[in-house]
Amino acid sequence: MKLIIAANWKMNKTICESVTYFQEFINEYCYIDEVTVVVCPPYTSLHAVYNEIKNSKISLGAQNIHWEDKGAFTGEISALMLKELGVEYVIIGHSERRHIMGEDNQQIHKKLKIALDYKLKPILCVGETEKERESGIMEEVIREQFTSAFSGLAGSQAQNIIIAYEPVWAIGTGKAALPEDAEKAAGTIKKIIKDSFNQKIADSVYIQYGGSVNEDNIGSFVTLPSVKGVLVGGASLDAPSFNKLVRASGRTVSN
């Protein structure tokens, strides 16, 4: 199983800055067979970034999607619009969308379905807040997020979903989860998938860890038995650092 390293730029970089980033990044970038790199810039930079990466093996992702095909949804972007821009992956249910924009599990479920209908690869984010962690209900929270997002999906669809375990308290704080906690959460996710589908599907689903991943700690996550990649925010914004992070993951894989 390849590692999937996804960069989530959030609301950062203008078109100009995105192009400059890739001119620098591609120069130093060295493709590693065992690693898929996905970059998720803001919507406004998707076209420009596509042009920069189209001859590399880097894939394009979006940070959000709307659940309807088209219509009166001011400010929203559809699956078809993303496909036309060369987007392959889409982040769904990121904690900033859940907690700042008020997205709920039902909306996330609909987003997941439309992404699958259009053959986009969803990266579904799940994870508990600090308060939920302190109350010892991490497993219940993840189970609820997973169950409502996956409700009614066939096993063949579930297999195409990447799940990013992103504890909310670790995002943008510089306080990454301990690798053993990330492994425990990934194990919980696998168990939930097995209970909902079967062992084969649980084994084939990709699970990423996200939350304060950087070039120094990536090795301790991608070598975990149940974690097959990372979702990176802050540390993906600087081209040389992100290159180092990708290289560090490759070294770990081949070791």
Enumerate binding residues for ligand PGA (CB under 6 A).
8, 166, 171-172, 210-213, 231-235
- Helix 46-53 / helix 15-28 crossing angle, nearest 10 deg: 20
What is the spatial distance between Cα 175 and Cα 191, in angstroms, rounded to a whole number? 26
The secondary element (H helix, E strand) that includes residue 124 is strand 121-126
Q: How far is the CB of 217 from ligand PGA (least distance, A)?
A: 10
Q: How far is the CB of 232 from ligand PGA (least distance, A)?
A: 5
Q: How far is the CB of 181 from ligand PGA (least distance, A)?
A: 15
SS3 179: helix
Structure tokens at 5: 């390293």
Structure tokens at 65: 């999607």
**In the complex, residue closest to ligand PGA by CB:** 233
Q: How far is the CB of 168 from ligand PGA (least distance, A)?
A: 9
State the CB neighbour count (10 A cutoff) for residue 11.
Answer: 8
Q: Please indicate whether residue 94 is annotated as part of the active site.
A: yes
- Whichever of 120 and 213 has its CB closer to ligand PGA, that residue is 213
- Whichever of 108 and 153 has its CB closer to ligand PGA, that residue is 108
Q: Please indicate whether residue 166 is annotated as part of the active site.
A: yes
What is the spatial distance between Cα 219 and Cα 180, in angstroms, rounded to a whole number? 13
Q: How far is the CB of 236 from ligand PGA (least distance, A)?
A: 7
* Burial class of residue 105 in the structure, from the number of CB atoms within 10 Å of its CB (0-12 exposed, 13-18 middle, 19+ buried): middle
Q: What is the DSSP letter of 152?
A: T
- Whichever of 78 and 217 has its CB closer to ligand PGA, that residue is 217
> Which of 52, 128, 166, 183 is labelled catalytic?
166
- Whichever of 8 and 64 has its CB closer to ligand PGA, that residue is 8
- Whichever of 197 and 206 has its CB closer to ligand PGA, that residue is 206
For residues 209 and 165, the answer to whether their CB atoms sit within 8 Å is: yes
> Which of 94, 96, 103, 128 is labelled catalytic?
94
SS3 57: coil
**Half-sphere exposure (CA, 13 Å, Cβ side) for 55?**
5
User: Which residues are known to be catalytic?
Assistant: 94, 166
